[in-house]
Amino acid sequence: MAKCRVGLWIVGAKGAVAVTTILGLVSLKKKQSSTVGLASELPRFQNLDLVDWSQIVIGGHEIRKTTLLDEIQQIHEHNHVFDSNVISKCKTEISKIEKNIKPGILVNVGETIKKLADKKLLQKKETPKQAMSRVMRDLKKFQSTHELDNVVVVNLSSTEPAVDVKKIPKTWDKVEKTLEKADTCPLAASSIYAAAAILNGMPYVNFTPSVGSSCTAIEKLANDREVCHMGRDGKTGETLMKSVLAPMFAARHLNVMSWVGHNIFGNRDGEVLDDPVNKQAKVTSKDQLLGQILGYSPQTLVTIEYIKSLGDWKTAWDHIHFQGFMGTPMTLQFTWQGCDSLLAAPLAIDLFRFTELSARRGETGLLTHLACFFKSPTGVIENDFVRQYQLLETWAEMVGL
Amino acid sequence: MAKCRVGLWIVGAKGAVAVTTILGLVSLKKKQSSTVGLASELPRFQNLDLVDWSQIVIGGHEIRKTTLLDEIQQIHEHNHVFDSNVISKCKTEISKIEKNIKPGILVNVGETIKKLADKKLLQKKETPKQAMSRVMRDLKKFQSTHELDNVVVVNLSSTEPAVDVKKIPKTWDKVEKTLEKADTCPLAASSIYAAAAILNGMPYVNFTPSVGSSCTAIEKLANDREVCHMGRDGKTGETLMKSVLAPMFAARHLNVMSWVGHNIFGNRDGEVLDDPVNKQAKVTSKDQLLGQILGYSPQTLVTIEYIKSLGDWKTAWDHIHFQGFMGTPMTLQFTWQGCDSLLAAPLAIDLFRFTELSARRGETGLLTHLACFFKSPTGVIENDFVRQYQLLETWAEMVGL
Amino acid sequence: MAKCRVGLWIVGAKGAVAVTTILGLVSLKKKQSSTVGLASELPRFQNLDLVDWSQIVIGGHEIRKTTLLDEIQQIHEHNHVFDSNVISKCKTEISKIEKNIKPGILVNVGETIKKLADKKLLQKKETPKQAMSRVMRDLKKFQSTHELDNVVVVNLSSTEPAVDVKKIPKTWDKVEKTLEKADTCPLAASSIYAAAAILNGMPYVNFTPSVGSSCTAIEKLANDREVCHMGRDGKTGETLMKSVLAPMFAARHLNVMSWVGHNIFGNRDGEVLDDPVNKQAKVTSKDQLLGQILGYSPQTLVTIEYIKSLGDWKTAWDHIHFQGFMGTPMTLQFTWQGCDSLLAAPLAIDLFRFTELSARRGETGLLTHLACFFKSPTGVIENDFVRQYQLLETWAEMVGL
Amino acid sequence: MAKCRVGLWIVGAKGAVAVTTILGLVSLKKKQSSTVGLASELPRFQNLDLVDWSQIVIGGHEIRKTTLLDEIQQIHEHNHVFDSNVISKCKTEISKIEKNIKPGILVNVGETIKKLADKKLLQKKETPKQAMSRVMRDLKKFQSTHELDNVVVVNLSSTEPAVDVKKIPKTWDKVEKTLEKADTCPLAASSIYAAAAILNGMPYVNFTPSVGSSCTAIEKLANDREVCHMGRDGKTGETLMKSVLAPMFAARHLNVMSWVGHNIFGNRDGEVLDDPVNKQAKVTSKDQLLGQILGYSPQTLVTIEYIKSLGDWKTAWDHIHFQGFMGTPMTLQFTWQGCDSLLAAPLAIDLFRFTELSARRGETGLLTHLACFFKSPTGVIENDFVRQYQLLETWAEMVGL
């Protein structure tokens, strides 16, 4: 039996996480990279019939005017990551992927993101509806051109300004009516992409804190169309730490009095988050899990600040002040120094592979067993990382039989 | 039905952890302390019929010449812990406990511990056998005097020099013959106490890295006598952190290249561990879990150093160097500043309560569901803290029905 | 010759730094404290004829309704500092000092500080002029009642909202006219106290970031009246670190790319600084020195956040990202955990003693040789701590001859 | 007037610091690197007539069998430092330098260093005297071949096992007699090189903790021959920090109770220091300055551990426990993450340039004004970095006139 061929469609295809994902996939295919960092390559998931590197075709949407290779080169130089030999060996293949990347959409993305956009794109006059139709056409064309069994859409774009989910009607019928005009549309681009994918019958994964498919109308739509999807906000660093440390304090009945987390970094994501309207969505996503895990709400503080010199090297300092036996105050501090794109890209690849398998198996609706990959897993209350991970392991055991 | 009365017999009863445990229990009884730090007081364990503070009578063995109140006062002054009002209110009761404390034994405890001992005790001529008999008598007398339903022996004494477990015969019959003479006896004091307790039918918990009941002969003895027991080495701080962080790296397929842990502190435990023969047992106990959790052995370094000014405030700095996607090296560092006795005492209380309940329920042999409290849980391979904790939760669900 | 008697008049006399200063001075007099932390007690300053503890009489102004002993007790309990025996032995004397504390003034102190004030004080109707006259009378009465040779006024009160110094007229004559009405007065309380002291011929030291005597009109006034004074903003912790580390980077030609400093703490000062209008003055004061020392302006970020559980324990995390040879980025991080009042109080005592000696010697105007004690030393450009300290040493050598 | 031409002769010419120095100098000459990291390029030293990059010819001794370019490439790949374009542009010139590198000597370098040596070199039978003569010939030939006005010898080789300086005779005459036989010779290689240079009339700089010229006999020899020299142990990272932080504690009369410094790194220097006999010299050099600066000796702990994965990235964690006013314990911690070779190489270049100028000016004996570059500056008691730096500034002012 011939192996299936699947498409990975990246929204924000020339962003740092995206180009790292692309370089990573190409280098894996060419055996230039190890599988370190990819959970889907752990022995415990080897029974699963996940797609391998040779089966994947990559395309995507992007609003900026740049090239994949320029972006890769910049990340390489600014952050002292990637091996220059690996880049060389992957160049030709990456140039081919370039052709699969189409202009993105700008519905309600906010001023800071618009400033980054290609001017031509800004001049384009299209209603949200037209934008959605264009996305749907691009996706279908990608599938047919490359003869793909399926296409998984993964959102890796910049964080949009916080959207008031309450203002989004509860059914897709009603939402659709708002798309005729820009000024009545309550959805931002991430949700337009999500709906476009789902309407096409294609799975959607939201790696960002933007709303994406996480609203009642689109969740229902996915159920109706029997498409699977999941989000939101990839859990890469500081929040991952929170989701393993908070359960420890809870299990030991240590009383967390305050938890302060300062995050500094200097990539484009950082620039976008420097705009308070974009930042809010992120901070909320990083902050909400403590209360759930601990069962009470300690004083918390989360800051995210743009420090140019750090580039993609996200540094987080967390200070946890907790009370032990007989009222004794104690302290845990940690410093996390991780290169954001290199932490995020393998998770994006894992999510793509697990989601593709779920789709192939006919799973529909929210893929809650993928909760461990997200800061704010839609439809899942559990935030303890190990217990979230057990959901994935249980699923894998069932699927792997 | 009258409530049962149970004895808590502490080996090393005037050490820092012990006197903190005693002050803690008395202050809980007098409603002068909150239950923060006590896992056994978490809502998830409220169905269990654990003993409450009023049911507990405390006694113990101690080799040094000092008083409980002097030790408490010293910890208070040197470490800025305990409320002076709380101490005042507990004084009278603690003075009464003083009378229940008997001279300990010095079998193979090594030179550094001997230096701390009461001179009278050093002059005492007794064979290991005689020492064991004395311990057994002390325990029985304690039980009868105070009309106790049961006595749980908890070892909170200083770490003994590493013992070669291979040299201990595999059956108690054979071990017993070695006890006639000091120079043939392969057991150190912790194991003599363990055997004494078990021969008396009393449960034994080993909170230290010393051998205690963790050798084939004594494990078999406990099975034969249908007594429950568990050990060893309370998991209070840095190792607790390792047992929650290492699973995170494993789950994400991040490759830990090196894990360095430097521990500094200045209490008596630190003084004893400054002797290399005593330190070895501790370091091994802190270091072994990484390989089990990760499935490979990164370069590790664990140091424990005596820094007088820190007193009981144990400070650990851990530097974890790991490789992410595409070979990218990243770093996690943490600093843990915890007051050792205040971290250990509530675990000792939890272990006492859980073990007493197991004994009352007729459980025998190793209490493996208590693994989450130990650095080196005897008979348990799992080192992931959350998974160990689930063993306890599963037991509690079963028991609580 | 009889020894002189001098008054220490504290503005904000019941704040945390003030009561620590008072407890410290009383305990030094009663030989209950060591001189650790007092630079003025170093061997290198022993030639100087500084006042000793028995010569000092303490008084002050305060706007809150509380007592010295209550404040001391609270700091003791919340922060695990001060020995309870020391407090006991100083109680009687501190009660006497209580009587020397008069109601403070509220001119332009802002809403956040007003909320802390005694209600009676808020109801008081007085013009800035009347407030100043009241302060002058209080100071004179203090001097005459206690037969003091001199009185040094030290401002230890909360940080006022930033004042636009440009709006203050350049001569005292013109300033005085503005004092008739509250709404035309460009001065805040700290400057009213400063002027009152100087008009009385009494030296003034400003330990806060508020303006105090640091405006042209009051500086000229001090020169005219031949009174000495100095400010502002005591250099206790994180900024002290900056003033020793930045010169190191400069001397080695290491290029500081960014310097991030996050400060968290939970005392009243923190509460007041949580109001952005009060915070601005502080952040500016903490931030300006880097450019001066380095000769260029790296990206900087300074945050000060109120985290209640920390109380007086100020924790600062600084992340310094610098470029070494051949463009190599490197990192220095530090964490400073200091108890704010215990860091500030000895500096306040040092400043009082050095200033009193200067006044006795007839020095007038700005005491620039005290620069090393201040974050923003008025009239001094040098911010390198060691070079500032050398100014003090040079003065001491001259004076000590 | 034609510009002078000077030789830089590096002992340990293919070690990490050496090849970084060489790449650095070549890249500066080719305008491929900025001068960041070079103190000698600061504006305050611009009046000095220091040699520029075009005037320098490089040669050296090396005991290992390898090439400069291989070593550079390895550092580049393992540590993510150097720009690959810069390496490319410097290749040809570096290959030429390769020809100026001669086999080093192995007198008393210890087993760990011998293991690294070229086998041919190990088979060579030569007395210490013959070794010294060979070095002298190599240096003279280098000078004549390249028509150099002078040659400065800089020791950048691995740390030798600690030598008992008391066993070295006090005059060169007597020392010389010991050189006839290997087993009577109290000197190790670093001192043989030092003597060879000085006997040739060439200045010598010792960047390592090895003895080099720092013994009475060679110091006298340098005075007699009117040659200048200085040492020892370049102050690059953790110790540099100590020499700026300790003066701060001293100036504030804060009582340092303990200072713990843990250093981890994984380069060849680390491998050599993993041998306790080599490590001792280093630890002593890092530890001695605290007592001098503080005026008392707090408990100190310095560890240096080889952690392979870190490569050249030396990470130091320092924990400083100090007592403030009224006995309050406080803590400063710092983490220094610096790439060792990139920190050391610019200091080696600075030392070479300053020493060469001193030699040209006719200065002889110890160049004590270079103290700020060394952990253990021979002949200088002052360890406060800023005050040491002022010695250099004073010299520069005098010279620059």
Count residue pairs from C and D with Cβ separation < 8 A: 174
Count residue pairs from A and B with Cβ separation < 8 A: 173
Helices C16-29 & C84-98 angle (0-180, nearest 10): 100
Least confident of A36-40, B79-83, C251-255: B79-83
* Among chain C residues, CA nearest to B82: C80
Answer whether C321 sits within 8 Å of A309, measured CB to CB: yes
- Residues of chain C in contact with residue B77, where contact means CB-CB under 8 angstroms, are 83
Contacts of C214 (CB under 8 A, 6+ apart): C165, C206, C231, C232, C378
- For the beta sheet containing D56-62, the strands, ordered from the edge strand earlier in sequence to the opposite edge, are D101-103, D56-62, D6-11, D150-155, D204-206, D228-231, D365-366
Residues of chain B whose beta carbon is less than 8 angstroms from a beta carbon of chain D are: 80, 257-258, 260, 262, 264, 299, 301, 303, 305, 307-310, 315, 317, 319, 321, 323, 329, 331, 333, 335, 337
Question: Is residue B140 a contact partner of residue B200, using CB atoms and an 8 Å limit?
Answer: yes
φ, ψ at D265 (rounded to 5°): -170, 170
What mean pLDDT is predicted for residues B231-251? Answer: 93
* DSSP-derived secondary structure for C267-300: SHHHHHHTSHHHHHHHHHHHHTHHHHHHSS--EE
* Among chain C residues, CA nearest to A317: C317
Average pLDDT, 10 consecutive residues per value, chain C (401 residues): 86 96 97 96 94 96 96 93 93 96 93 90 91 97 97 95 91 94 90 97 96 96 97 91 95 96 86 73 73 92 92 95 96 96 97 97 96 95 92 92 69
- Per residue in B161-200, pLDDT tens? 888 999 999 999 999 999 998 888 999 999 999 999 999 9
β C56-62/C6-11 pair status: parallel
Quote the pLDDT of residue B1. Answer: 45
Answer whether B260 sits within 8 Å of D307, measured CB to CB: yes
What is the C-alpha separation between A261 and A282, in angstroms, rounded? Answer: 13
Answer whether A307 sits within 8 Å of C260, measured CB to CB: yes
* DSSP-derived secondary structure for D204-218: EEE-SSS-TT-SHHH
* Among chain C residues, CA nearest to B83: C77
Contacts of D42 (CB under 8 A, 6+ apart): C253
Answer whether C324 sits within 8 Å of D37, measured CB to CB: yes
What is the C-alpha separation between A180 and A175, in angstroms, rounded? Answer: 10
Burial (CB < 10 A; 0-12, 13-18, 19+), residue A308, is middle
What mean pLDDT is predicted for residues A132-143? Answer: 97
Quote the pLDDT of residue B182. Answer: 82
Query: Which one of A303, A309, A323 has the shortest CB-CB distance to C303?
Result: A303
φ, ψ at B58 (rounded to 5°): -110, 140
Instruction: Report the gap between the CA of B241 and the closest CA in chain D (Å).
Output: 19
Answer whether D325 sits within 8 Å of C38, measured CB to CB: yes
Instruction: Report the gap between the CA of D305 and the closest CA in chain A (Å).
Output: 21
Asked whether the predicted pLDDT for residue B125 surpasses 60, the reply is yes
User: Which amino acid is present at A5?
Assistant: R
What is the C-alpha separation between C369 and C377, in angstroms, rounded? Answer: 9
* Among chain B residues, CA nearest to A349: B325
Q: How far is CA C163 from CA C108, D124, D139, in A?
A: 9, 79, 68
Question: Is residue A155 a contact partner of residue A11, using CB atoms and an 8 Å limit?
Answer: yes
* Among chain B residues, CA nearest to A238: B332
Asked whether the predicted pLDDT for residue A22 surpasses 60, the reply is yes
Residue B173 corresponds to which tokens in the numbers above? 């019959």
> B306, B307, B323, B339: best mutation site toward chain D, by most D Cβ within 10 Å?
B307
- Per residue in A312-345, pLDDT tens? 999 999 999 999 999 999 999 999 999 999 999 9
Instruction: Report the gap between the CA of A86 and the closest CA in chain B (Å).
Output: 9
Answer whether C301 sits within 8 Å of A80, measured CB to CB: no
Using alpha carbons, select from A32, A13, A21, A14 the residue that is nearest to residue A70: A14
Asked whether the predicted pLDDT for residue D395 surpasses 70, the reply is yes
What is the C-alpha separation between C332 and D336, in angstroms, rounded? Answer: 5
Answer whether D81 sits within 8 Å of A84, measured CB to CB: no
Which value, in Å, is the radius of gyration of the alpha carbons in chain C? 21
Question: Is residue B154 a contact partner of residue B207, using CB atoms and an 8 Å limit?
Answer: yes
Residue C45 corresponds to which tokens in the numbers above? 């300053």
SS3 A256: strand
Which of the other chains make 3 or more beta carbon contacts under 8 angstroms with chain C?
A, B, D
SS3 B10: strand
- To the nearest whole percent, how much of chain A has pLDDT over 90? 84
- Per residue in B59-68, pLDDT tens? 999 999 999 9
Question: Is residue A130 a contact partner of residue A138, using CB atoms and an 8 Å limit?
Answer: no
Answer whether A326 sits within 8 Å of B254, measured CB to CB: no
Quote the pLDDT of residue D342. Answer: 96
What is the C-alpha separation between B204 and B229, in angstroms, rounded? Answer: 5
Quote the pLDDT of residue C1. Answer: 45
Q: Is the pTM of this model over 0.90?
A: yes
SS3 D120: helix
- Residues of chain D in contact with residue B317, where contact means CB-CB under 8 angstroms, are 262, 317, 319, 333
Answer whether C80 sits within 8 Å of B84, measured CB to CB: no
What mean pLDDT is predicted for residues B45-70? Answer: 96
Answer whether B80 sits within 8 Å of C80, measured CB to CB: yes
Instruction: Report the gap between the CA of D305 and the closest CA in chain C (Å).
Output: 20
Instruction: Report the gap between the CA of B387 and the closest CA in chain D (Å).
Output: 30
> D255, D308, D319: best mutation site toward chain B, by most B Cβ within 10 Å?
D319
Residues in chain C: 401
pLDDT band at D2 (very low <50, low <70, confident <90, very high): low
Answer whether D84 sits within 8 Å of A84, measured CB to CB: yes
Answer whether A262 sits within 8 Å of C80, measured CB to CB: no
Checking B165-171 for CB contacts under 8 A at 24+ apart, the result is: B165/B211, B165/B214, B165/B215, B168/B211, B168/B215, B168/B216, B168/B217, B169/B217, B170/B216, B170/B217, B170/B220, B171/B216, B171/B217, B171/B220
φ, ψ at B319 (rounded to 5°): -125, 115
What mean pLDDT is predicted for residues B1-5? Answer: 74
β A329-339/A313-323 pair status: antiparallel
Give just the sign of the alpha carbon dihedral A362, A366, A368, A374. positive
Query: Which one of B262, B299, B315 has the shortest CB-CB distance to D308?
Result: B299
Residue in the block written with tokens 């809150």: C64
Quote the pLDDT of residue D184. Answer: 85
Question: Is residue C77 a contact partner of residue A329, using CB atoms and an 8 Å limit?
Answer: no
Question: Is residue B171 a contact partner of residue B220, using CB atoms and an 8 Å limit?
Answer: yes
What mean pLDDT is predicted for residues A12-35? Answer: 96
Residue D88 corresponds to which tokens in the numbers above? 């490319």
Residues in chain B: 401
Q: How far is CA B230 from CA A380, B14, B208, B224, B281, in A?
A: 37, 22, 11, 15, 17
Checking B177-181 for CB contacts under 8 A at 24+ apart, the result is: B178/B128, B179/B127, B179/B128, B179/B129, B179/B132, B180/B127, B180/B128, B180/B129, B181/B127, B181/B128
Q: Could you tell me if residue D362 is left (phi over 0), alpha (psi between -120 and 50 degrees) or otherwise beta? A: left
- Look up residue C327 and give its DSSP letter: G
Answer whether C258 sits within 8 Å of A309, measured CB to CB: yes
pLDDT band at A1 (very low <50, low <70, confident <90, very high): very low
What is the C-alpha separation between D246 and D359, in angstroms, rounded? Answer: 33
Helix (H) or strand (E) holding B242: helix B238-251
> B78, B79, B273, B310: best mutation site toward chain D, by most D Cβ within 10 Å?
B310
Instruction: Report the gap between the CA of C304 and the closest CA in chain A (Å).
Output: 12
- Residues of chain A in contact with residue D81, where contact means CB-CB under 8 angstroms, are 80
φ, ψ at A181 (rounded to 5°): -125, 145
Answer whether A80 sits within 8 Å of D84, measured CB to CB: no
User: Which amino acid is present at D327?
Assistant: G
- Residues of chain A in contact with residue D80, where contact means CB-CB under 8 angstroms, are 80-81
Strand partners of residue B366: B229
Answer whether D247 sits within 8 Å of C252, measured CB to CB: no
> A265, A319, A332, A336: best mutation site toward chain C, by most C Cβ within 10 Å?
A319
pLDDT band at B36 (very low <50, low <70, confident <90, very high): very high
What is the C-alpha separation between B320 and B305, in angstroms, rounded? Answer: 19
SS3 A33: coil
- To the nearest whole percent, how much of chain B has pLDDT over 70? 98
- To the nearest whole percent, how much of chain A has pLDDT over 70? 98
Quote the pLDDT of residue B2. Answer: 60
What is the C-alpha separation between A266 and B76, in angstroms, rounded? Answer: 46
What is the C-alpha separation between A152 and B244, in angstroms, rounded? Answer: 33
User: Which amino acid is present at B87?
Assistant: I
Contacts of C367 (CB under 8 A, 6+ apart): C228, C229, C230, C354, C355, C358
Burial (CB < 10 A; 0-12, 13-18, 19+), residue C84, is middle
Count residue pairs from A and D with Cβ separation < 8 A: 7
What's CA C398's distance to the chain center, in Å? 26
Q: What share of chain C is helix, strand, coil (3-state, %, to 5)?
A: 50, 20, 30
* DSSP-derived secondary structure for B280-330: HHHHHHHHTHHHHHHSS--EEEEEEEE-GGGTTEEEEEEEEEEE-GGG-EE
Q: What share of chain B is helix, strand, coil (3-state, %, to 5)?
A: 50, 20, 30
